[in-house]
Amino acid sequence: MVIKVFFPQCCNRADSGLLVGRWLAGYDSAVVLAVIHYPFIPSTVKQYIQQSRSGVQLSVLGSWSLPAEGDMESFLRDLSSIFPQRRWLQISRQTGKTGFSCSVLNTERKEEEEREDESDQKVIFIHYEQRKVMLSQLHRDESEGADPNPEPTSELTQMFESVSRSQALFFLDKYDEGPVKSTHWQSEGREASIVVELCKQGAVPVCSVVSAVLHLMFHVFPLPFVWSKLSTCVQLSFRTERLKKLFSTATAPDHMTFMRKSNTFVSVLLDVALGLLLMSWLYRDDHISSIANALVPAADHVAKELKGLLQWLMGAPAGLKMNRALDQVLGRFFLYHIHLWISYIHLMSPFVESLLWYGGLSAALGLSMAVSLLSDMIALLTFHIYCFYVYGARLYCMKVYGLSSLWRLFRGKKWNVLRQRVDSCSYDLDQLFIGTLLFTILLFLLPTTALYYLVFTLLRLVVVVVQGVLHLTVDFINSFPLFSVGLRVCRPYTLADGVKFRVLCDEPGTCLHLLMEINPLKLSSVVRTYRSPNDSRRKDSWAALINKLFIGELVYPWKHKAEKTD
């Protein structure tokens, strides 16, 4: 039988005393957490262990003695009757050897049976760094189940849980005055806890007030419809909800909650820092005036290019034969809209610099807020292109649906609205004649409409791609787990994907000694595991997008919200 003893490296040179830890349920393994030094009073040790329980059941596993204290070994062996255990580990160091020797006493068996089993028992020491195991989080394999809080069943999981839940043992330093003296990992303490508590207490009412104001704004018609289409308002609402969850203290935080809050805090902090840098650049060297002065000429240039494009479409584009009457009507209709838009831009030109100056202040709330505002400005500046796209898409869609309906007429079919299916139907001669006439008209007008739809759809897709890049930037800032990635880079042992062992000492006459090292979690797994849940929005697949473009359905400049996920 092989008994594994997880032994902390900080106790290798500890004074003689008692080993405190726990036996792992279902395994022949023991986890040593601390060494209580001699002299001590057994009743005081029992009371100290009972008061130090924090999530795990601690007990005295055995004794620990140094080679210079040979008389102490027999004394510590006799303590097995005071601290009853099924197995009593008697570990000692030997002079001139690096490894330990260990004998296992089966206190519940008779001496004859004990002598018979001593030769069959083999002890393997697994040395671990208590600080790293204490601060690390062992990530279970996803195949273990969907339960978010599964019970620790594996030997390694129980070992990590035993060390992490025994923090009460590590609060008392070996030099402090206390009932017992012990050797274990010394914690580094808590920093700025008072400041953190004051910030949390003050931030909760502020976030609640802002959330209440936004709630009223978003529920007064027609403001909810307008705010849901503006990226700036959506981002402001999302940021407020995240800050409200960040400073909430409703439940005791577990590891995932702590990491999620830390990622949120770091992402918000970095977002605001980048926003302040952008803000300092905008208001330095009069960059806002330069942008405002270049905005109106750029709008005029775009309008001039659109006029040239429409004049090209009103002629014979690429040698195509177009319907002259419909081509002239559509061209003049779009030219009139361009004229209205340019008049509006020139009317607003005196206020552009002021709007940019006040809009630049949004960068103080973060780079994501400034990027969202830029997305809204692009949507407003290209609103005429969106109108052209909507007009062309609606005309094209009407003709496509009309042609598909008339095509069913020729085949003796019709669309059953109640049953949502195609049924057979018989038509008389007048219906077939009118259907043929309408089908011919729509079919010959389709190329002209399709050309206008194709051109303005391509222009619209350019704007949508630019807005999509801006939306992806905001989503990346909001959801990227920067704190977790930084923790993985600076302290890779805190996010453990498993462990590996290497032989530390295998001297004759001593037990086998292994060193347990922590395998850090992969960066891809860190990003996937700790990525902050964004306001997940329903995104169309490529097949659905192509189908919409083919039949003329609108591709909106905003994303449709899906169900909120926590």
The tokens for 419 are 């049953």
pLDDT at 273: 92
The whole-chain average pLDDT of the chain stands at 77
Range scoring the smallest mean pLDDT among 344-358, 362-376, 515-529, 530-544: 530-544
User: Whole-angstrom Cα distance, residue 136 to residue 138?
Assistant: 6
Pairing of strands 537-538, 560-561: antiparallel
Average pLDDT value for residue range 281-286: 84
Domain boundaries of the chain, sorted by first residue:
2-189+494-520, 191-480+532-566
**CB-based contacts of 473: which residues, under 8 Å, 6+ apart?**
368, 371
Per cent of the chain over pLDDT 70 is 77
Selected residue with higher pLDDT from 340 and 68: 340
Q: Tell me the per-residue pLDDT of 346-401, one tens digit each, with 9 for 90 and over.
A: 888 888 888 888 888 888 888 999 998 888 888 888 888 888 889 989 999 898 88
Task: Compare 254 and 231 and report the one with higher pLDDT.
Answer: 231
Alpha helices in 9-102 (DSSP H): 42-51, 70-78
For the cut 50, the answer to whether the pLDDT of residue 110 exceeds it is: no
The per-residue pLDDT for 478 is 87
338 Cβ neighbours under 8 A, 6+ residues apart? 303, 306, 307, 310, 384
- pLDDT of 220: 59
Helices 287-313 and 255-282 pack at an angle, to 10 degrees, of 90
Answer with the residue of higher pLDDT: 231 or 214: 231
**337, 456, 348: which is closest to 394 by C-alpha?**
456
pLDDT reading at 145 higher than 60: no
> Is 102 in contact with 459 (CB distance < 8 Å)?
no
CA 376/CA 231 separation, integer angstroms: 6
Q: Does the pLDDT of residue 538 top 70, yes or no?
A: no
Among 255-269, 294-308, 541-555, the range scoring the smallest mean pLDDT is: 541-555
pLDDT at 387: 87
Identify the pLDDT of residue 274: 92
Residue 22 pLDDT > 60: yes
Beta bridge partners of 556: none
Closest CA to 159 of 516, 566, 559: 516
- Predicted confidence (pLDDT) at residue 221 exceeds the cutoff of 70: no
Question: Helix/strand/coil (H, E, C) string of 356-381?
Answer: HHHHHHHHHHCHHHHHHHHHHHHHHH
